[in-house]
Amino acid sequence: MAEPRAASPVVETADPSSVLLTVEEAARRLRIGRTTCFKLVLAGEIESVTVGRLRRVPLEALRSYVTKLRSRPTEAA
Protein backbone atom coordinates (compact mmCIF):
# COMPACT_ATOMS: atom_id res chain seq x y z
CA MET A 1 0.00 0.00 0.00
CA ALA A 2 1.37 3.42 -0.94
CA GLU A 3 2.14 5.90 1.80
CA PRO A 4 0.11 9.11 1.82
CA ARG A 5 1.96 12.00 0.25
CA ALA A 6 2.77 15.01 2.40
CA ALA A 7 0.97 18.14 1.38
CA SER A 8 3.23 20.45 -0.55
CA PRO A 9 3.56 23.98 0.80
CA VAL A 10 1.55 26.64 -0.96
CA VAL A 11 3.87 28.86 -2.94
CA GLU A 12 2.51 32.15 -4.14
CA THR A 13 3.88 33.08 -7.51
CA ALA A 14 3.48 36.55 -8.93
CA ASP A 15 2.59 36.95 -12.58
CA PRO A 16 6.00 37.07 -14.33
CA SER A 17 4.63 39.68 -16.75
CA SER A 18 3.75 42.11 -13.93
CA VAL A 19 5.29 45.53 -14.38
CA LEU A 20 4.28 46.81 -10.94
CA LEU A 21 4.64 44.66 -7.84
CA THR A 22 3.25 45.00 -4.34
CA VAL A 23 5.90 45.56 -1.68
CA GLU A 24 5.27 41.99 -0.50
CA GLU A 25 5.88 40.61 -4.01
CA ALA A 26 9.05 42.69 -4.29
CA ALA A 27 10.26 41.31 -0.96
CA ARG A 28 9.65 37.73 -2.11
CA ARG A 29 11.55 38.33 -5.36
CA LEU A 30 14.49 39.81 -3.44
CA ARG A 31 14.28 37.01 -0.84
CA ILE A 32 14.12 39.54 2.00
CA GLY A 33 11.58 40.15 4.72
CA ARG A 34 8.47 42.20 4.13
CA THR A 35 9.37 44.67 6.89
CA THR A 36 12.88 45.13 5.51
CA CYS A 37 11.45 45.79 2.05
CA PHE A 38 9.01 48.38 3.41
CA LYS A 39 11.91 50.12 5.19
CA LEU A 40 13.93 50.19 1.97
CA VAL A 41 10.96 51.61 0.05
CA LEU A 42 10.27 54.29 2.68
CA ALA A 43 13.98 55.22 2.79
CA GLY A 44 14.01 55.62 -1.00
CA GLU A 45 16.52 52.79 -1.48
CA ILE A 46 13.98 50.97 -3.65
CA GLU A 47 11.93 53.17 -5.97
CA SER A 48 8.17 52.98 -5.62
CA VAL A 49 5.15 54.70 -7.09
CA THR A 50 1.64 55.34 -5.87
CA VAL A 51 -1.36 54.32 -7.89
CA GLY A 52 -4.34 55.90 -6.19
CA ARG A 53 -3.86 54.83 -2.57
CA LEU A 54 -1.69 51.82 -3.45
CA ARG A 55 2.10 51.62 -3.18
CA ARG A 56 3.74 49.66 -6.01
CA VAL A 57 7.34 48.80 -6.89
CA PRO A 58 8.29 48.84 -10.58
CA LEU A 59 10.04 45.63 -11.62
CA GLU A 60 12.94 47.68 -12.99
CA ALA A 61 13.39 49.24 -9.52
CA LEU A 62 14.39 45.82 -8.17
CA ARG A 63 17.02 45.44 -10.88
CA SER A 64 18.33 48.96 -10.14
CA TYR A 65 18.50 48.23 -6.41
CA VAL A 66 20.49 45.04 -6.96
CA THR A 67 22.83 46.89 -9.34
CA LYS A 68 23.41 49.53 -6.64
CA LEU A 69 24.17 46.82 -4.08
CA ARG A 70 26.66 45.17 -6.43
CA SER A 71 28.49 48.42 -7.14
CA ARG A 72 28.96 49.35 -3.47
CA PRO A 73 32.48 48.87 -2.18
CA THR A 74 32.76 45.85 0.07
CA GLU A 75 33.54 46.50 3.71
CA ALA A 76 36.76 45.11 5.13
CA ALA A 77 36.11 42.42 7.70
pLDDT in tens, 3-51: 555 554 444 555 666 899 999 999 999 999 999 999 999 999 999 999 9
Residue 65 clears pLDDT 60, i.e. is over it = yes
Q: How far apart, in whole angstroms, are the C-alpha atoms of residue 60 and residue 12?
A: 21
Residue 3 has what pLDDT? 57
More confident residue, 9 or 66: 66
Q: What is the DSSP string of 44-71?
A: TSS--EEETTEEEEEHHHHHHHHHHHHH
pLDDT at 4: 58
